[in-house]
Amino acid sequence: MLDGLRCEVCRCLNMLWLDPVRGIIECHACHQTAIALPPENGGEAR
């Protein structure tokens, strides 16, 4: 669960779940999905 985040479609708070295997974020209230793209630099701080 992604705490403190709100779904942009249905505006429900704390209903977003990350599926790291598929790289998808899904709202469990309205079932909207989004693709989670990794940073191009591999997530390293600059």
The domains of the chain are located at 1-36
Tell me the pLDDT tens digit for each residue of 18-37: 998 899 999 999 999 999 88
User: For 4-19, what is the mean pLDDT?
Assistant: 95
How many Cα atoms are found within 13 Å in the side-chain-facing hemisphere of 15? 15
Question: What does the alpha-carbon distance between residue 28 and residue 44 come to, in Å, rounded to a whole number?
Answer: 30
- What pLDDT, on the 0 to 100 scale, is given for residue 42? 66
- Which residues 6+ apart lie within 8 Å of 1 measured at CB? 14, 16, 17
Residue 44's pLDDT band (cuts 50, 70, 90): low
1, 17 contact by CB (below 8 A): yes
Give the model's confidence band at 45: pLDDT under 50 very low, under 70 low, under 90 confident, else very high. Answer: low
Region 8-15: what's the mean pLDDT?
96
